[in-house]
Amino acid sequence: MVSVIDKVIESIPAEQHNIIKTKWIQVRYEYGVNVRKIVYITGALLLVVLLIITIILLWNRSLQKEILKRNIIEEKLESSLLELEKKNDEKRAMLREIHHRVKNNLQVVNSLLKLQSRKLKSDDAVAMFKETQNRVVSMALLHEKMYRSDDIHQINVQDYISLLVKDLVESYAVDKKIHLNIQIEPVNLMMRTLVPLGLIINEMITNSLKHGFKNKSEGEISVSIRHIKGVRFEMIIGDNGEGVVKEHKSTGIGVNLIQIFTKQLNGTLKQLDAPGAVFKLTFDKIDVV
């Protein structure tokens, strides 16, 4: 069969062979490269790259200008803050010096009152001088606290009132054993509130020490202060002594001072139904502008 097939294929003319090959065998030929197309593509890519580089350079230059402006502003702010801090330090030093001088002046007044009281023969007059001295000491103690405090605008109320009450007890209760119950929340108040509040406490504690334990060898004085809401505070102050005679209406200067200072603090004062003489003072923190 093979020889027969070979003979048949050999008998096919050359022209017919070419026709068969052309029909069944396709050969493609690539003639060279499309240079123009490559140039166009390369040029477009270069333009895109140059555009991106230009945008980046312009953006960097804008950032550099912005950074320079901010640096200048920061330097000015830092300089202003340093100047402001310097002025604040000078102001704090000046205020401390003022408090120190006021305290010294009040101590001089206290010494003069003490010297003057030695010439008096009336026990009532001596007692009046002593009460005045205690009022002066109350204010002097406040200025001393302001002078020694890290914050010249505010004072820890617990420290100030505790020291004030202890000084009063040591001054009056010479032959009495007085226990102190002081419960004050950790609040800070300023001079405008503390001056009238301290004088109210001075008057009330003085009254307790003078009249509350006449027939007793010992007793208790309590002071508590708590924050109610906003600028509103509450103070409970009193003793467990003999109490207040309701039929007797006091007209002394101490009562008038308490009323004046209570009004100054936008406060209300009322006696509580408790053993001894106990009062509740509701007042405002008037330091708030």
CA distances from 274 to 11, 118, 119, 226, 277 (A): 144, 39, 41, 19, 7
Write down the pLDDT at residue 232. 93
Dump pLDDT digits (tens) for 174-193. Answer: 678 889 999 998 887 888 88
Surface-to-core class of residue 233, CB atoms within 10 Å of its CB (0-12 exposed, 13-18 middle, 19+ buried): buried
Can you say how many angstroms the Cα of residue 163 is from the centroid of all Cα atoms in its chain? Answer: 25
Write down the pLDDT at residue 247. 47
Write down the pLDDT at residue 237. 93
Write down the pLDDT at residue 255. 85
Residue 201: half-sphere exposure toward Cβ, Cα within 13 Å:
33
Residue 171 carries which side chain, given as an amino acid letter? S
Q: Which residues of the chain have pLDDT under 50?
A: 247-248, 289
Per-position DSSP letters for 214-272, written without gaps between them: TT-SEEEEEEEEEEEETTEEEEEEEESSS---TT----SHHHHHHHHHHHHTT-EEEE-
Write down the pLDDT at residue 174. 64
Q: Is 141 helix (H, G, I), strand (E, B) or coil?
A: helix
CB count in 10 Å sphere of residue 255:
13
136 contacts: CB under 8 Å, gap ≥ 6: 106, 109, 110, 113
Write down the pLDDT at residue 215. 80
Q: Is the CA virtual torsion 132, 135, 139, 145 positive or negative?
A: positive
Write down the pLDDT at residue 27. 56
Q: Walk me through the domains of the chain, giving residue ranges and CATH numbers.
A: 153-289 (3.30.565.10)
